[in-house]
Amino acid sequence: MSAPVNAPVSVAGGAPGGAPLLQMQRISKHFGGLQALKDVDLTLQAGELLGIVGDNGAGKSTLIKVLTGVYPPDGGGIVLNGERVRIPNRRASIDLGIDAVYQNLALVDYLTAPQNVYLGNEIKRSVLGIPVLDNAGMRKKAAAILNDRLGVALGDIDQHTFNLSGGQRQAVAIARALIQEKGRILILDEPTAALGPEESRRMLEVVQRLKRKEMGIIMISHQLEHVFELADRIMVLRRGRLAGVRSTAHTTRQEILGLIVGSIADYEADAGAAGAAVTP
Ligand SMILES: Nc1ncnc2c1ncn2[C@@H]1O[C@H](COP(=O)(O)OP(=O)(O)OP(=O)(O)O)[C@@H](O)[C@H]1O
Ligand SMILES: [Mg+2]
């Protein structure tokens, strides 16, 4: 059963003087007879990159979809900056500053990168009192985000995104999430799964550049080496349950693999790490 809405919020391990950026508490979700998630806890600190790993079907995407309002949970609660929130749909999650970039990127192929970045959030300017699209402004700002912030060059910024490579398309999708004014939490579900080695490397650099004080990033990946490279903490799901959370600096691939396959089943032994701030 979920805690009452105004229940005191645990801030174990939170930033000094503040609650964690995000807490998902005892999240459960079933599809018919299948228990996709059971009592899963997740804590994300501001400035942190949390990796989520687990076998196929472990519940990773379902957990993210609960956070982004795609699925209502059967039980559990979500607390953002110490306040309990309801996320009944995708719009609500975006309004709360939570956005996700999925593997099957929802880009419109026949629009340019700037048009995709600002789709639904177009910048307008006034001409003789009539609002018109500020195409030059959007183009300039999109180019600045892509080039300066993400370090990705598109060549011709006016070409249709249809012509872009997988990594470039992913960068456009990330730029789209970044222009949301309230963006506080960015979720990347398998950011490198469809990319070749060269593009994966560049995507990892993009994610690395995104890390900054006020934002939290959740990255789901099957590629442990990428998770070890970028994540501050690693959360392991197994068959819909939390198998363990470890700070990356204090674990090994072997231990994480053990948690993934179930040969290590000692979540309780490291329960403190669930809300732990990252130790340098
Ligand atoms: N809409 C749905 N209807 C029915 N079952 C679903 C639905 N979405 C997910 N499931 C089931 O819930 C379980 C968890 O799925 P989920 O997609 O969260 O796994 P995952 O950890 O993301 O796996 P992968 O690594 O393969 O992406 C799976 O058994 C899946 O078949
Ligand atoms: Mg998935």
pLDDT in tens, 139-167: 999 999 898 888 888 888 899 988 888 88
Give the Cα separation of 263 and 175 in Å (integer): 40
Q: How many domains is the chain built from? A: 2
Give the Cα separation of 117 and 120 in Å (integer): 9
Q: Determine contact, residues 98/87, Cβ cutoff 8 Å.
A: yes
Is residue 133 over pLDDT 60? yes
Give, using CA atoms, the residue closest to atom 8 of ligand 1.
62
C-alpha dist (Å) from residue 62 to 35, 53, 59, 185: 11, 13, 5, 17
Is residue 2 over pLDDT 80? no
The 3-state DSSP class for residue 122 equals: coil
β partners of residue 131: 126
The 3-state DSSP class for residue 148 equals: helix
Range of the domain at 55: 1-97+186-280
**What confidence tens digit (pLDDT) does each residue in 95-128 have?**
899 988 876 667 888 889 999 899 888 899 999 9
| Distance from Cα 236 to the centre of ligand 1, integer Å | 15
- Mean local confidence (pLDDT), 25-48: 96
Which residues have a Cβ under 8 Å from the Cβ of 72 and sit 6 or more positions away?
66, 88
For residue 247, give the amino acid letter: S
Shared-domain flag, residues 240 and 278 = yes
pLDDT at 3: 39
Question: What ligand 1 atom has the least distance to the C-alpha of 55?
Answer: 25
**What confidence tens digit (pLDDT) does each residue in 201-237 have?**
888 888 888 887 778 999 999 999 999 999 999 999 9
Query: Where does a domain end: 147, 181, 215?
Result: 181
Pull the structure tokens for residue 181.
Answer: 């004014």
| Distance from Cα 34 to the centre of ligand 1, integer Å | 10
Give, using CA atoms, the residue closest to atom 11 of ligand 1.
36
In this structure, how many other beta carbons lie within 10 angstroms of the beta carbon of residue 143? 17
* CA 80 distance to own-chain centroid: 14
The ligand 1 site (C-beta within 6 Å) comprises 31, 34, 36, 54, 56-62
Point out the ligand nearest to the CA of residue 237.
Answer: 1
| Distance from Cα 154 to the centre of ligand 1, integer Å | 34
pLDDT at 170: 85
Shared-domain flag, residues 170 and 195 = no
Which CATH number characterizes residue 269's domain? 3.40.50.300
- Mean local confidence (pLDDT), 192-207: 82
pLDDT at 153: 84
Query: Where does a domain end: 162, 181, 200?
Result: 181
Shared-domain flag, residues 174 and 191 = no
pLDDT at 190: 86
Q: Determine contact, residues 29/37, Cβ cutoff 8 Å.
A: yes
Question: What ligand 1 atom has the least distance to the C-alpha of 37?
Answer: 14
Shared-domain flag, residues 128 and 58 = no
Burial bucket for residue 17 (CB in 10 Å: 0-12, 13-18, 19+): exposed
| Distance from Cα 241 to the centre of ligand 2, integer Å | 15
Shared-domain flag, residues 194 and 113 = no
pLDDT at 96: 93
Shared-domain flag, residues 65 and 119 = no
Question: What ligand 1 atom has the least distance to the C-alpha of 65?
Answer: 18
Shared-domain flag, residues 145 and 166 = yes
Shared-domain flag, residues 267 and 154 = no
Pull the structure tokens for residue 268.
Answer: 């309780």
β partners of residue 237: 242
Give the Cα separation of 163 and 169 in Å (integer): 9
- Ligand 1 pocket mutation pick from 24, 28, 34, 238 by most atoms within 8 angstroms of CB: 34
Shared-domain flag, residues 274 and 159 = no
Give the Cα separation of 127 and 96 in Å (integer): 32
Shared-domain flag, residues 138 and 268 = no
In the chain, the percentage of residues whose pLDDT exceeds 90 is 52
For residue 110, give the amino acid letter: Y
In this structure, how many other beta carbons lie within 10 angstroms of the beta carbon of residue 84? 17
Shared-domain flag, residues 193 and 92 = yes
**What confidence tens digit (pLDDT) does each residue in 66-85 have?**
999 999 999 999 999 999 99
DSSP designation for 112:
B
Query: Where does a domain end: 117, 151, 181?
Result: 181
Shared-domain flag, residues 88 and 201 = yes
At 177, is the pLDDT very low, low, confident or very high (cuts 50, 70, 90)? confident
